[in-house]
Structure 1
Amino acid sequence: MSLTIRNARPWGSAPTDVVVRDGRIAELRPYDGTSPAAGDVDGRGRLLVPSFSDVHVHLDSTRIGLPFRPHTGAPGVWAMMLNDRANWRTAEVPITERVRNTFGAMIARGTTRVRSYAQIDVDCRLERFEAVLAAKEYFADSAQVEIIAFPQAGLLREDGTPGLLEEALGSGATVMGGIDPCLLDRDPVRHLDIVFGLAEKYQVAVDIHLHEPGELAVFSTDLILERTRALGMQGKVTLSHAYQLGSVNETTTRRLIQEFAELDVAMASVAPPSVPGQLPLTELTAAGVRFGLGEDGQRDYWSPYGNCDMLDRTWQLAFTNGFRKDELIEHCLAVATVGGASVLDPASARLTSVGDRPGVAVGDPAELLLVAGETPTSAVMDRSTDRTVIHAGRVVADGLELV
């Protein structure tokens, strides 16, 4: 299968004709002014960048497209989880439909690579996981998806949770999740023994939510790094959130960045506002640490934020980091696209400097987004709806509508 994209500007460069064959970029040649033939895509001088990779999203708790509901959650992970548990079944439409509609909206806006959490506990059992799995299968030709078997309520607080997670890993989940080993379960050794034990048994990656503060977060992280090293799981572990790992002191910050690089531990962020003490993005990049972006919740029972648009979240990443220079804002776009892709696939291109702009060269996967904008920075600032989304060398959405 072949496709030619005419008059596109890769990362804002000169107008180019891009030939795609068998799901990969096969040729890049100067735009020759020829009108698009049947089957070609008219780039119309738009920017061509890699499509988005949302590597931290909770598809199973979405309320996208439903009537607005005032936020009722109390502070803290356990209290927020109980609020979600009390409400998710009574939404206006069934969960399978909610997940499918939200995922479709994400694809339409330019996301073709996704890592989604699926809450598994003694209340919902595998119902929410099965809704995410159904959406993955429904959109199998439009996006690629990894599903995390996620113990949102912890692993140890309710009897039977580890067995349900193992059932999900045997039914299509490809990542083992964990959450706040000290703060939520209050037994980090047992918690991490279960997480890494199941990951090793099923030969899957690990993704651990870490909301813990300062010194406690560093303590949990050191236990995670210890297991990563002992089990030879380099390239298979991601820390999500981990907001305060940079809050202890400069020596600890440097040490953690160095160990993340040595063990190829990735990080996923949702660009949180007003959270001091995060590890510095530019230093993580310079060390070669894989770093991706995600939307987290989608207007759900945890938060009214999230709108399925990773271009908006890219703006948020730049804004919350205080970036103004074009190079740094474009770096945020690279993080949201290729950076996230490297979290999903450690063998793919990764960012090693704020000036890297991979993803649109010959040989790269044809996971692409055409979007209106004078420059990549202006595209992040203006967030045009004039977008064409390409997955595996095929147009899957245009003008925010699925094809």
Structure 2
Amino acid sequence: MNRPVWLKNVFLEAGLETGENGSIETRTELYDLKIEDGKVAKIQPTGGFLEADIGTLDAKGLLGLPSFKEMHNHLDKTYLSLDWKACRPAANLKQRLDLEATELSELSQTAEQRASAMIRLLQSKGATHIRTHVNIDPYIGLKNLEGVRSALEAHSEQLSYEIVAFPQHGLLNGNVPELMKEAMRSGATMVGGLDPAGIDKNIEKSLDVMMELATEFDAGVDIHLHDSGHVGFYTVEKLIELTREAKWQNRVAVSHAFSLGEVAINQQEKIAADLAETGMAIMSTVPITKTIPPIGLLSRSGVKVHFGCDGFYDSWSPYGTGDLLEKVSRYSELYRKSDERGLADSLKFATSGIVPLSDAGEMLWPKIGDDADFVFMEASCSAEAVARTPERKAVMFQGRVVYGEL
């Protein structure tokens, strides 16, 4: 149990003001927060009474924002901590999967080491939660799961996490369903899937097996869906149907979902309403080489949209920084979010929906009882943070400083 501590001199967003030119501006003020048992126990303007027998941390005027939730990652794939190597060229997805398969056994020997390096990098960028997909396939079985689980358990006092059993080389491939069951018994917490049309060649069967696994193990679902156009769109429609039948509302996510941005606007609106009604989430990496699902429309319709960095510096791509705030900034630039509120509202895609202020200027975060999960940086407000992506000076998880210093 954490000892109580006063977190002093934190800049928090306190309201909105109208500038002389009529523009909306964020008002930020200094606060002291009492942290107890990993949660915010008291919030008061800086300068008030602080108990002398309680320790203090001094934020020295740094802006405090909700810490980030990395909701789509592959801790097992990265080359981080190994010598540099670029990707081998591949003509198509099948060839890329074949190339990956050839190195899986070799890489599995360093799974814990590499996963730990990525965890530390994600932490340094402000993440205190990671949802990682881990390959479960005929080539290495559960070796990657063992290494990733060990790395996450070693950091369990510094972050929260979910592990998705991910059938990268097909759910209907050989004995993969049995391997998936073994993975769920061995520490995986969610069931994954991959391109029921493009990889498994059988949309209905692939989705059925995935949902059967989820219900058997009482687990959530997060499927990679790269299948494009009307094939991918139909796959989402079918998954919505299965989610309703299984009564799995609020427990299913679709990662990538490029197809949702490749159909007519009336179809986008209809499926957005269905996704919202079933509580199905969309996970996006905000790619620059693919069609992006209609993030704005989905969010306005009540669909939960979360960002993730995906795998990076691996056999799929040499790029990536592990910075979710950078993803939010990219989204904001792509969709021309240049005003104060547009930038600030975009932060929610990195924080699982948490933002400091409502559009009316009401202080929404932090509240007494909230987890003491913060990221600290030199910025005047969240809008500036999104636009300029400043260095993270410190990160706090449940009242503990897990990166940097205060």
After the TM superposition, which residues 104-119 of structure 1 pair with which residues of structure 2 at under 5 Å, given as runs? 104-119=120-135
Structure 1 residues 321-370: Cα deviation after superposition (integer angstroms, max 9, x where no partner) = 3322232222222210133x8xxxxxxx9999898984422221111111
Cα contact 2:138–2:175 (8 A) shared by 1: yes
Show the counterpart of 2:29. Answer: 14
Show the counterpart of 1:346. Answer: none
Relative distance call for 1:337 and 1:327 in structure 2 (3 A) is same
| TM-score, normalised by the number of residues in structure 2 | 0.89
Cα contact 1:338–1:350 (8 A) shared by 2: no
Cα contact 1:3–1:39 (8 A) shared by 2: yes
CA distance in 1 between counterparts of 2:365 and 2:186 reads 32
Relative distance call for 1:368 and 1:125 in structure 2 (3 A) is same
1:67 equivalent among 76, 79, 83 = 83
Question: Please, what is the CA RMSD of the aligned residues?
Answer: 2.6
Structure 1 residues 241-300: Cα deviation after superposition (integer angstroms, max 9, x where no partner) = 001213211111110110011000011110111433x34322222222111110001211
Show the counterpart of 1:267. Answer: 282
Aligned-pair distance for 1:211?
0.4
Show the counterpart of 1:306. Answer: 320
Stretches of structure 1 that go unaligned for 5 or more consecutive residues are 342-348
Cα contact 2:4–2:36 (8 A) shared by 1: yes
CA distance in 1 between counterparts of 2:127 and 2:300 reads 26
CA distance in 2 between counterparts of 1:58 and 1:167 reads 19
Relative distance call for 1:83 and 1:319 in structure 2 (3 A) is farther
After the TM superposition, which residues 4-403 of structure 1 pair with which residues of structure 2 at under 5 Å, given as runs? 4-11=6-13, 13-32=28-47, 39-90=55-106, 94-156=110-172, 158-276=173-291, 278-339=292-353, 358-398=364-404
Stretch moving more, 330-339 or 26-35: 26-35
Stretches of structure 2 that go unaligned for 5 or more consecutive residues are 14-26
Aligned-pair distance for 1:383?
2.7
Equivalent residues, number = 390
Cα contact 1:9–1:46 (8 A) shared by 2: yes
CA distance in 2 between counterparts of 1:351 and 1:80 reads 44
Cα contact 1:330–1:377 (8 A) shared by 2: yes
Aligned-pair distance for 1:115?
0.4
Relative distance call for 1:352 and 1:243 in structure 2 (3 A) is farther
Aligned-pair distance for 1:93?
7.6
Aligned-pair distance for 1:92?
11
Larger Rg: 2
Cα contact 1:176–1:199 (8 A) shared by 2: yes
Cα contact 1:239–1:268 (8 A) shared by 2: yes
Aligned-pair distance for 1:235?
0.3
CA distance in 2 between counterparts of 1:361 and 1:165 reads 40
Stretch moving more, 69-78 or 247-256: 69-78
Relative distance call for 1:362 and 1:223 in structure 2 (3 A) is same
Q: Percent identity?
A: 29
Show the counterpart of 1:345. Answer: none
Structure 1 residues 95-131: Cα deviation after superposition (integer angstroms, max 9, x where no partner) = 2111112112212321111100000100011011111
CA distance in 1 between counterparts of 2:383 and 2:97 reads 37
Aligned-pair distance for 1:309?
2.3
